[in-house]
Amino acid sequence: METNFFAKNKQSVYMGHVFPCQITATFNKGKRVYETGEISKKERGKWLKVMDSGIVVNN
pLDDT tens per residue, range 6-53: 777 777 888 888 889 988 998 888 888 888 878 887 766 677 778 788
Do the beta carbons of residue 25 and residue 33 sit within 8 Å?
no
- The reported pTM is 0.47
Instruction: Return the half-sphere exposure (C-beta side, CA atoms, 13 A cut-off) of residue 6.
Output: 11
Do the beta carbons of residue 46 and residue 59 sit within 8 Å?
yes
Q: So what's the pLDDT on residue 20?
A: 93
CA 27, chain centre distance (Å): 10
Do the beta carbons of residue 48 and residue 56 sit within 8 Å?
yes
pLDDT digits (tens, 9 = 90+) for 2-11: 666 777 777 7
